[in-house]
Amino acid sequence: MWHPFQVGKTYRNRHGEYVVQAIDGDEMTIRYVGGGTLKTKVSIQARIWENIQFEEQMARDQEREKLAQEARQAARKRAAQAKREKAQPVFGGFVETDFEPRKRGFAWASRKELGRLLAREMGRRTEAEYGFWLVPRKPEVHVARQGHYDRDSRDSRAAFFVAVNEQGVAYGLRVGNPGGKPKKSWHSPAFLAALGEDSRPRRALRAAMKGYDLSLDIYARDVRYERVARVLVQDRGLLWQRETAEQEETRRMSWQDLVEYLRTVAFKQQSDVFIRRLVPPAAALEAGKEVANEILQVFEALLPLYEACLEG
């Protein structure tokens, strides 16, 4: 009968490796490598040996298939990454004409590219879906979570923003308030609640204002839409400032004072709060395309406050 064994060669069964010592017809004597001798049937050991060889071949085939599948997945990921990189928004930075006023305002040509880039990066960094919106008739773009902003209701929403004028580039967080009795869908009540509590959003705001030299500017519409106050962070508390044609007023404030001022004065009429950094044109031009990363740093620093606005 045919069998795979040769005297003196090493094989294996379910108990371990062995060396064939003798073969006589269907009888064979084997000695285990670990010690011990056994007289057994050639047919039995041949079947066991063939089964082990089959199992090992199956395991090798499965391993090859696994490696091939991993290689295919890696290739798909590389292709997808290359596709994403190819489709990545291109923003080359600001140019001098962005800061030059025209008859119909400012011709900031790259605001769509910057908005798309900022929305994409905020989505990637937060694992949430972000979009961007161009503000009609203004050199301004808003970046916000999808489902929490739309163009028709932007005056009652919070959003990250970038705006351009002859003074430079302003960017940060804007909270709109249409004025009058607040509605449940507005973001301004949640914004006030976040400022009134010594919690993570307010601490993040203070750290951002101090670390990135941000101001909290309040604009309101009475006779005309204009800035009515500026609030700065100091070592202790806040400093409220207001400039009129006749004088400049300043006074120290606590966070509760600020909340009360916004609630009883500013938010009684159409108003906006801009927590922002202003970069002069020369500095924005010098930064080139890296200005986008600087903007994203401020957005991320203000993210806890923005998310608190959405929870109202």
Share of the chain above pLDDT 90, in %: 76
Mean pLDDT of 228-239: 92
Distance CA 206, CA 208 (A): 5
Q: Which range has the worst mean pLDDT, 106-115, 187-196, 272-281?
A: 106-115
Half-sphere exposure of 202 (CA within 13 A, CB side): 17
Report pLDDT for 211: 96
Q: Which range has the worst mean pLDDT, 72-76, 82-86, 151-155, 287-291?
A: 82-86
Report pLDDT for 102: 75
| Confidence label for 312 from pLDDT (cuts 50, 70 and 90) | low
Distance CA 299, CA 294 (A): 9
207: enclosing H helix or E strand? helix 200-211
Report pLDDT for 103: 64
Quote helix, strand, coil % in the chain, to nearest 5: 45, 30, 25
Report pLDDT for 86: 60
How does pLDDT run across 46-77, given as a tens digit for each residue? 999 999 999 999 999 999 999 999 999 998 88
| Confidence label for 135 from pLDDT (cuts 50, 70 and 90) | very high
Report pLDDT for 107: 76
Model confidence pTM above 0.85: no
Report pLDDT for 151: 85
Distance CA 271, CA 192 (A): 14
Closest by Cα among 241, 236, 261, 260 to 251: 241
Mean pLDDT of all residues belonging to the chain: 91
Distance CA 133, CA 159 (A): 10
